[in-house]
Amino acid sequence: MRHVHGRARRAGATLAALLTWAGLLAGAAGCTSGGSGGIGLGGALGASAAPEDVIRISPDDGSKGVAPGEPLRVRVPDGRLESVKVVRSQDAQESQVPGRIAQDGLSWEPDERTLGLAARYTVDAVAVDDEGHRSARHTTFTTYVPDERFIAYVTPENRTTVGTGMIVSLDFSREIEDRAAVERAVQVTARPPVEIRPHWFGKGRLDFRPRAYWRPGTEVTVSLKLRDVQGAPGVYGLQYKTFSFTVGRSQVSLVDAADHTMEVRRDGELLATVPITAGAPKTTTYNGKMVVMDMLEVTRMNSRTVGFGGEYDIPDVPHAMKLTNTGTFLHGNYWSPNAPGRVNVSHGCVGLRDVKGGSSDTPAGWFFDRSLVGDVIEVVHSKDTTVAADNGLGGWNMTWQRWTGGATRG
Protein backbone atom coordinates (compact mmCIF):
# COMPACT_ATOMS: atom_id res chain seq x y z
CA MET A 1 0.00 0.00 0.00
CA ARG A 2 2.83 2.33 0.78
CA HIS A 3 4.16 1.69 -2.69
CA VAL A 4 0.81 2.51 -4.24
CA HIS A 5 0.44 5.66 -2.18
CA GLY A 6 3.99 6.77 -3.16
CA ARG A 7 3.20 6.36 -6.84
CA ALA A 8 -0.05 8.31 -6.32
CA ARG A 9 1.79 11.12 -4.59
CA ARG A 10 4.40 11.30 -7.36
CA ALA A 11 1.66 11.32 -10.01
CA GLY A 12 -0.16 14.11 -8.19
CA ALA A 13 3.01 16.19 -7.99
CA THR A 14 3.70 15.65 -11.67
CA LEU A 15 0.16 16.68 -12.59
CA ALA A 16 0.43 19.80 -10.45
CA ALA A 17 3.69 20.75 -12.14
CA LEU A 18 2.20 20.24 -15.59
CA LEU A 19 -0.79 22.38 -14.68
CA THR A 20 1.52 25.10 -13.33
CA TRP A 21 3.65 25.14 -16.51
CA ALA A 22 0.49 25.12 -18.64
CA GLY A 23 -0.76 28.16 -16.77
CA LEU A 24 2.54 29.96 -17.20
CA LEU A 25 2.68 29.18 -20.90
CA ALA A 26 -0.91 30.28 -21.35
CA GLY A 27 -0.12 33.54 -19.57
CA ALA A 28 2.98 34.07 -21.71
CA ALA A 29 1.17 33.43 -24.97
CA GLY A 30 -1.89 35.56 -24.22
CA CYS A 31 -2.21 39.22 -25.40
CA THR A 32 -2.21 41.83 -22.66
CA SER A 33 -5.60 43.49 -22.37
CA GLY A 34 -6.26 47.20 -22.62
CA GLY A 35 -3.30 48.11 -24.93
CA SER A 36 -4.29 49.20 -28.41
CA GLY A 37 -1.65 47.96 -30.81
CA GLY A 38 0.50 46.55 -27.98
CA ILE A 39 1.80 43.10 -27.06
CA GLY A 40 3.22 42.62 -23.55
CA LEU A 41 4.72 39.54 -21.93
CA GLY A 42 3.78 38.75 -18.33
CA GLY A 43 6.07 40.67 -16.01
CA ALA A 44 7.53 42.85 -18.77
CA LEU A 45 8.19 46.32 -17.33
CA GLY A 46 5.44 45.72 -14.81
CA ALA A 47 2.86 42.98 -15.39
CA SER A 48 -0.07 45.32 -14.72
CA ALA A 49 1.05 48.09 -17.08
CA ALA A 50 -0.70 48.52 -20.43
CA PRO A 51 1.66 48.71 -23.43
CA GLU A 52 0.81 52.37 -24.09
CA ASP A 53 1.93 53.15 -20.54
CA VAL A 54 5.14 51.15 -20.96
CA ILE A 55 6.03 52.48 -24.47
CA ARG A 56 4.69 55.92 -25.19
CA ILE A 57 4.50 56.91 -28.87
CA SER A 58 3.43 60.22 -30.30
CA PRO A 59 1.55 61.04 -32.49
CA ASP A 60 -1.11 58.76 -31.00
CA ASP A 61 -2.03 55.47 -32.62
CA GLY A 62 -4.64 55.95 -35.35
CA SER A 63 -4.12 59.73 -35.64
CA LYS A 64 -5.08 61.29 -38.97
CA GLY A 65 -4.08 64.56 -40.62
CA VAL A 66 -1.02 64.99 -38.41
CA ALA A 67 0.74 68.31 -39.09
CA PRO A 68 4.28 68.11 -40.52
CA GLY A 69 5.72 69.99 -37.55
CA GLU A 70 4.31 67.66 -34.91
CA PRO A 71 7.12 65.71 -33.21
CA LEU A 72 7.55 61.97 -33.70
CA ARG A 73 8.78 60.46 -30.42
CA VAL A 74 9.05 57.11 -28.70
CA ARG A 75 9.66 57.03 -24.92
CA VAL A 76 9.69 54.73 -21.91
CA PRO A 77 9.49 55.89 -18.25
CA ASP A 78 12.11 53.37 -17.13
CA GLY A 79 14.05 50.40 -18.43
CA ARG A 80 15.32 51.09 -21.96
CA LEU A 81 14.27 50.97 -25.59
CA GLU A 82 15.82 47.98 -27.30
CA SER A 83 14.75 48.75 -30.87
CA VAL A 84 12.60 51.23 -32.79
CA LYS A 85 11.65 50.83 -36.45
CA VAL A 86 9.65 53.53 -38.24
CA VAL A 87 8.51 53.04 -41.84
CA ARG A 88 7.07 55.82 -44.01
CA SER A 89 4.79 54.91 -46.90
CA GLN A 90 4.55 57.78 -49.37
CA ASP A 91 3.75 57.87 -53.08
CA ALA A 92 3.36 54.08 -53.10
CA GLN A 93 6.93 53.66 -51.82
CA GLU A 94 8.13 52.55 -48.42
CA SER A 95 11.26 53.83 -46.73
CA GLN A 96 12.68 53.41 -43.25
CA VAL A 97 12.93 56.60 -41.24
CA PRO A 98 16.43 57.01 -39.75
CA GLY A 99 16.67 57.92 -36.11
CA ARG A 100 18.52 57.17 -32.91
CA ILE A 101 17.90 56.01 -29.36
CA ALA A 102 19.21 58.39 -26.70
CA GLN A 103 22.20 57.32 -24.61
CA ASP A 104 20.03 56.73 -21.55
CA GLY A 105 17.79 54.45 -23.64
CA LEU A 106 14.63 56.27 -22.59
CA SER A 107 13.73 57.93 -25.89
CA TRP A 108 14.02 57.77 -29.68
CA GLU A 109 13.75 60.61 -32.19
CA PRO A 110 14.09 60.74 -36.00
CA ASP A 111 17.07 62.44 -37.65
CA GLU A 112 14.69 64.67 -39.63
CA ARG A 113 12.24 66.48 -37.39
CA THR A 114 9.64 67.25 -40.08
CA LEU A 115 7.09 64.61 -41.06
CA GLY A 116 6.34 63.92 -44.71
CA LEU A 117 2.97 65.01 -46.04
CA ALA A 118 0.34 62.61 -47.38
CA ALA A 119 2.18 59.71 -45.75
CA ARG A 120 1.40 56.71 -43.53
CA TYR A 121 3.80 56.01 -40.68
CA THR A 122 4.18 52.65 -38.93
CA VAL A 123 6.06 52.48 -35.63
CA ASP A 124 7.31 49.25 -34.06
CA ALA A 125 9.09 49.58 -30.72
CA VAL A 126 10.48 47.04 -28.24
CA ALA A 127 11.49 47.93 -24.69
CA VAL A 128 13.23 45.84 -22.02
CA ASP A 129 13.31 46.22 -18.24
CA ASP A 130 16.20 45.66 -15.84
CA GLU A 131 15.34 41.96 -15.54
CA GLY A 132 15.40 41.40 -19.28
CA HIS A 133 11.63 41.26 -19.79
CA ARG A 134 10.40 42.74 -23.05
CA SER A 135 7.33 44.71 -24.12
CA ALA A 136 6.40 45.63 -27.68
CA ARG A 137 4.10 48.17 -29.28
CA HIS A 138 2.85 48.73 -32.85
CA THR A 139 1.13 51.99 -33.92
CA THR A 140 0.22 53.80 -37.12
CA PHE A 141 -0.77 57.33 -38.05
CA THR A 142 -1.24 59.36 -41.24
CA THR A 143 -0.16 62.92 -42.01
CA TYR A 144 -1.83 65.96 -43.47
CA VAL A 145 -2.73 65.87 -47.17
CA PRO A 146 -2.40 69.42 -48.56
CA ASP A 147 -4.84 70.76 -51.10
CA GLU A 148 -2.27 73.09 -52.69
CA ARG A 149 1.26 72.43 -53.93
CA PHE A 150 3.98 74.41 -55.70
CA ILE A 151 6.79 73.42 -58.03
CA ALA A 152 9.82 75.16 -59.52
CA TYR A 153 10.44 75.38 -63.25
CA VAL A 154 14.21 75.17 -63.59
CA THR A 155 16.64 76.71 -66.09
CA PRO A 156 18.84 75.25 -67.59
CA GLU A 157 17.72 71.78 -68.53
CA ASN A 158 19.25 68.68 -66.98
CA ARG A 159 22.44 67.25 -68.52
CA THR A 160 23.02 70.09 -70.93
CA THR A 161 26.23 71.88 -71.90
CA VAL A 162 25.84 75.65 -71.57
CA GLY A 163 27.76 78.86 -72.02
CA THR A 164 29.69 80.54 -69.23
CA GLY A 165 26.97 83.14 -68.63
CA MET A 166 24.26 80.66 -67.60
CA ILE A 167 22.29 81.62 -64.49
CA VAL A 168 20.38 78.97 -62.54
CA SER A 169 16.82 80.27 -62.42
CA LEU A 170 13.82 78.85 -60.55
CA ASP A 171 10.35 80.11 -61.48
CA PHE A 172 7.78 78.99 -58.91
CA SER A 173 4.23 78.04 -59.79
CA ARG A 174 2.92 79.89 -56.71
CA GLU A 175 4.01 83.02 -54.88
CA ILE A 176 6.44 82.19 -52.08
CA GLU A 177 5.80 83.81 -48.71
CA ASP A 178 8.44 81.96 -46.70
CA ARG A 179 11.39 82.66 -48.95
CA ALA A 180 13.96 81.66 -46.33
CA ALA A 181 12.48 78.15 -45.98
CA VAL A 182 12.39 77.63 -49.73
CA GLU A 183 15.91 78.99 -50.21
CA ARG A 184 17.26 76.58 -47.57
CA ALA A 185 15.75 73.70 -49.55
CA VAL A 186 17.72 74.59 -52.72
CA GLN A 187 21.43 73.86 -53.01
CA VAL A 188 23.64 74.81 -55.97
CA THR A 189 27.22 73.50 -55.96
CA ALA A 190 30.07 73.51 -58.47
CA ARG A 191 33.15 71.45 -59.24
CA PRO A 192 35.72 72.99 -59.08
CA PRO A 193 34.20 74.86 -56.12
CA VAL A 194 33.17 78.49 -56.47
CA GLU A 195 31.03 80.77 -54.34
CA ILE A 196 27.43 80.75 -55.61
CA ARG A 197 24.84 83.07 -54.16
CA PRO A 198 21.06 83.44 -54.55
CA HIS A 199 18.92 86.43 -55.40
CA TRP A 200 15.15 86.74 -55.19
CA PHE A 201 13.13 88.62 -57.77
CA GLY A 202 9.85 89.24 -55.98
CA LYS A 203 7.97 86.27 -54.57
CA GLY A 204 8.06 84.02 -57.60
CA ARG A 205 11.65 83.69 -58.81
CA LEU A 206 14.97 82.66 -57.29
CA ASP A 207 18.23 82.86 -59.29
CA PHE A 208 21.75 81.63 -58.49
CA ARG A 209 25.10 82.71 -59.97
CA PRO A 210 28.78 83.07 -59.07
CA ARG A 211 30.55 86.43 -58.77
CA ALA A 212 31.90 86.20 -62.36
CA TYR A 213 31.09 84.02 -65.36
CA TRP A 214 31.61 80.29 -64.82
CA ARG A 215 34.95 78.77 -65.67
CA PRO A 216 34.79 76.50 -68.75
CA GLY A 217 34.53 72.87 -67.74
CA THR A 218 32.74 73.54 -64.45
CA GLU A 219 30.16 70.93 -63.44
CA VAL A 220 27.17 72.41 -61.62
CA THR A 221 24.68 70.41 -59.52
CA VAL A 222 21.30 71.72 -58.41
CA SER A 223 19.52 69.90 -55.59
CA LEU A 224 15.84 70.65 -55.00
CA LYS A 225 14.56 69.43 -51.64
CA LEU A 226 11.29 71.29 -51.88
CA ARG A 227 8.96 68.41 -51.08
CA ASP A 228 6.79 69.24 -48.06
CA VAL A 229 8.45 72.65 -47.58
CA GLN A 230 5.79 75.22 -46.75
CA GLY A 231 6.22 78.08 -49.21
CA ALA A 232 3.04 79.91 -48.20
CA PRO A 233 0.25 79.18 -45.71
CA GLY A 234 -1.20 75.81 -46.68
CA VAL A 235 0.97 75.57 -49.83
CA TYR A 236 3.72 72.94 -49.84
CA GLY A 237 6.47 71.98 -52.28
CA LEU A 238 6.25 68.86 -54.39
CA GLN A 239 9.75 68.26 -55.84
CA TYR A 240 12.68 66.25 -54.52
CA LYS A 241 15.19 65.92 -57.33
CA THR A 242 18.75 66.64 -58.43
CA PHE A 243 19.92 67.76 -61.85
CA SER A 244 23.22 68.95 -63.30
CA PHE A 245 24.79 70.75 -66.25
CA THR A 246 28.27 71.35 -67.63
CA VAL A 247 29.79 74.69 -68.61
CA GLY A 248 31.34 74.59 -72.07
CA ARG A 249 33.82 76.98 -73.69
CA SER A 250 33.61 80.71 -73.10
CA GLN A 251 31.96 82.84 -75.78
CA VAL A 252 31.08 86.48 -75.16
CA SER A 253 29.90 88.72 -78.00
CA LEU A 254 29.94 92.53 -77.85
CA VAL A 255 27.31 94.34 -79.93
CA ASP A 256 28.07 97.98 -80.67
CA ALA A 257 24.73 99.47 -81.70
CA ALA A 258 26.34 102.72 -82.88
CA ASP A 259 29.06 101.02 -84.92
CA HIS A 260 26.69 98.31 -86.27
CA THR A 261 29.15 95.51 -85.42
CA MET A 262 29.41 92.49 -83.15
CA GLU A 263 32.77 91.21 -81.91
CA VAL A 264 32.66 87.48 -81.15
CA ARG A 265 35.30 86.36 -78.64
CA ARG A 266 36.00 82.69 -77.91
CA ASP A 267 38.00 82.03 -74.72
CA GLY A 268 39.08 85.68 -74.77
CA GLU A 269 40.37 85.66 -78.35
CA LEU A 270 38.64 87.59 -81.15
CA LEU A 271 36.96 85.03 -83.41
CA ALA A 272 35.22 87.40 -85.84
CA THR A 273 33.63 90.81 -86.27
CA VAL A 274 30.11 90.48 -87.70
CA PRO A 275 27.96 93.30 -89.18
CA ILE A 276 24.62 93.77 -87.37
CA THR A 277 21.53 95.92 -87.34
CA ALA A 278 20.09 96.96 -83.97
CA GLY A 279 16.94 98.78 -82.89
CA ALA A 280 15.75 101.74 -84.89
CA PRO A 281 15.69 105.20 -83.21
CA LYS A 282 12.09 104.77 -82.00
CA THR A 283 12.48 101.10 -81.04
CA THR A 284 15.98 100.89 -79.60
CA THR A 285 17.76 97.80 -78.29
CA TYR A 286 18.46 97.37 -74.58
CA ASN A 287 21.99 97.99 -73.40
CA GLY A 288 23.68 95.53 -71.08
CA LYS A 289 24.50 91.85 -70.70
CA MET A 290 21.95 89.35 -71.99
CA VAL A 291 22.19 85.57 -71.94
CA VAL A 292 21.01 83.27 -74.71
CA MET A 293 17.92 81.55 -73.24
CA ASP A 294 16.77 79.49 -76.22
CA MET A 295 17.85 78.71 -79.79
CA LEU A 296 15.37 78.17 -82.61
CA GLU A 297 16.24 77.20 -86.18
CA VAL A 298 13.16 79.10 -87.28
CA THR A 299 10.35 80.90 -85.46
CA ARG A 300 7.44 83.23 -86.07
CA MET A 301 7.63 86.83 -84.87
CA ASN A 302 4.42 88.84 -84.55
CA SER A 303 4.58 92.43 -83.34
CA ARG A 304 1.26 92.09 -81.52
CA THR A 305 2.84 89.66 -79.02
CA VAL A 306 5.37 92.29 -77.88
CA GLY A 307 3.15 95.37 -77.83
CA PHE A 308 3.92 96.88 -81.24
CA GLY A 309 0.46 96.49 -82.76
CA GLY A 310 0.29 95.12 -86.30
CA GLU A 311 3.63 96.43 -87.58
CA TYR A 312 5.04 93.05 -88.62
CA ASP A 313 4.29 89.34 -88.77
CA ILE A 314 7.19 87.24 -90.08
CA PRO A 315 6.38 83.51 -90.08
CA ASP A 316 9.89 82.18 -90.78
CA VAL A 317 12.56 84.15 -88.91
CA PRO A 318 15.76 82.04 -89.17
CA HIS A 319 18.45 81.38 -86.56
CA ALA A 320 16.57 83.00 -83.67
CA MET A 321 18.26 83.23 -80.27
CA LYS A 322 16.10 84.47 -77.40
CA LEU A 323 17.70 87.08 -75.12
CA THR A 324 14.87 88.50 -72.95
CA ASN A 325 11.39 87.61 -71.75
CA THR A 326 10.02 90.73 -73.44
CA GLY A 327 10.92 89.59 -76.94
CA THR A 328 14.51 90.64 -77.63
CA PHE A 329 16.19 88.19 -80.02
CA LEU A 330 19.41 87.96 -81.95
CA HIS A 331 18.30 86.48 -85.28
CA GLY A 332 18.84 86.18 -88.98
CA ASN A 333 17.42 88.96 -91.16
CA TYR A 334 16.65 88.33 -94.84
CA TRP A 335 14.09 91.13 -95.41
CA SER A 336 16.56 94.02 -94.92
CA PRO A 337 19.73 92.61 -96.53
CA ASN A 338 21.52 95.95 -96.74
CA ALA A 339 20.92 97.05 -93.14
CA PRO A 340 23.54 95.01 -91.19
CA GLY A 341 26.74 97.02 -90.86
CA ARG A 342 25.07 100.24 -92.03
CA VAL A 343 21.85 101.21 -90.24
CA ASN A 344 19.62 100.18 -87.33
CA VAL A 345 16.15 99.16 -88.51
CA SER A 346 14.84 96.56 -86.06
CA HIS A 347 12.18 96.76 -83.36
CA GLY A 348 14.75 96.14 -80.61
CA CYS A 349 16.33 92.89 -81.78
CA VAL A 350 19.85 92.38 -83.08
CA GLY A 351 19.80 91.24 -86.71
CA LEU A 352 22.47 89.44 -88.71
CA ARG A 353 22.46 89.01 -92.48
CA ASP A 354 20.71 85.80 -93.58
CA VAL A 355 18.64 84.33 -96.42
CA LYS A 356 15.06 83.12 -96.45
CA GLY A 357 15.03 79.64 -94.94
CA GLY A 358 18.40 80.23 -93.28
CA SER A 359 21.87 79.09 -94.34
CA SER A 360 25.05 78.08 -92.53
CA ASP A 361 26.99 80.17 -95.05
CA THR A 362 25.51 83.47 -93.85
CA PRO A 363 26.74 85.51 -90.84
CA ALA A 364 23.59 84.54 -88.91
CA GLY A 365 24.02 80.85 -89.70
CA TRP A 366 27.74 80.95 -88.89
CA PHE A 367 27.07 82.53 -85.49
CA PHE A 368 24.13 80.24 -84.69
CA ASP A 369 26.20 77.12 -85.38
CA ARG A 370 28.89 78.30 -82.95
CA SER A 371 26.62 79.34 -80.10
CA LEU A 372 25.25 77.72 -76.94
CA VAL A 373 22.39 78.47 -74.61
CA GLY A 374 24.11 80.38 -71.82
CA ASP A 375 26.40 82.46 -74.07
CA VAL A 376 26.58 86.16 -73.28
CA ILE A 377 25.56 88.94 -75.70
CA GLU A 378 26.44 92.42 -74.42
CA VAL A 379 25.02 95.52 -76.11
CA VAL A 380 26.71 98.93 -75.81
CA HIS A 381 26.16 102.43 -77.24
CA SER A 382 22.42 102.01 -77.72
CA LYS A 383 20.17 104.94 -76.82
CA ASP A 384 18.17 102.81 -74.39
CA THR A 385 18.28 101.78 -70.75
CA THR A 386 20.14 98.76 -69.39
CA VAL A 387 18.07 95.61 -69.52
CA ALA A 388 16.40 94.75 -66.20
CA ALA A 389 18.09 92.00 -64.20
CA ASP A 390 14.92 89.88 -64.16
CA ASN A 391 14.21 90.34 -67.88
CA GLY A 392 15.54 87.03 -69.10
CA LEU A 393 18.79 86.05 -67.39
CA GLY A 394 19.99 89.62 -66.92
CA GLY A 395 21.44 89.14 -63.46
CA TRP A 396 24.96 89.90 -64.69
CA ASN A 397 23.94 93.56 -64.91
CA MET A 398 23.82 93.71 -61.11
CA THR A 399 26.92 94.30 -59.01
CA TRP A 400 27.92 91.47 -56.68
CA GLN A 401 26.98 93.65 -53.71
CA ARG A 402 23.48 94.21 -55.02
CA TRP A 403 23.13 90.55 -55.97
CA THR A 404 24.12 89.23 -52.57
CA GLY A 405 22.09 91.92 -50.83
CA GLY A 406 18.98 90.39 -52.37
CA ALA A 407 19.62 86.95 -50.85
CA THR A 408 17.17 85.80 -48.20
CA ARG A 409 18.77 83.76 -45.46
CA GLY A 410 16.84 82.22 -42.58
CATH code (residue 284): 2.40.440.10
CATH number for the domain including 52?
Answer: 2.60.40.3780
What mean pLDDT is predicted for residues 161-167?
98
Q: Are residues 303 and 316 in the same domain?
A: yes
Among residues 85, 111, 142, the one where a domain terminates is: 142
pLDDT at position 16: 39
Q: Are residues 232 and 366 in the same domain?
A: no
Among residues 79, 108, 142, the one where a domain terminates is: 142
**Residue 200 placed within a domain:** yes
Q: Are residues 129 and 185 in the same domain?
A: no
Cα angle, residue 113 at apex, residues 110 and 116 outer, rounded to 5°: 95
Global pTM? 0.78
**Residue 402 placed within a domain:** no
What mean pLDDT is predicted for residues 109-136?
94
pLDDT tens digits, 348-359: 999 999 999 999
Among residues 142, 167, 184, the one where a domain terminates is: 142
Q: Are residues 265 and 346 in the same domain?
A: yes
**Residue 18 placed within a domain:** no
pLDDT tens digits, 240-278: 999 999 999 999 999 999 999 999 999 999 999 999 999
Q: Are residues 137 and 262 in the same domain?
A: no
Domain of residue 287 covers 251-397
Q: Are residues 257 and 208 in the same domain?
A: no
Q: Are residues 239 and 276 in the same domain?
A: no
Half-sphere exposure of 403 (CA within 13 A, CB side): 22
**Residue 256 placed within a domain:** yes
123: pLDDT confidence band, cut at 50, 70 and 90? very high
pLDDT at position 307: 66
List active site positions: 331, 349
Domain count of the chain?
Answer: 3
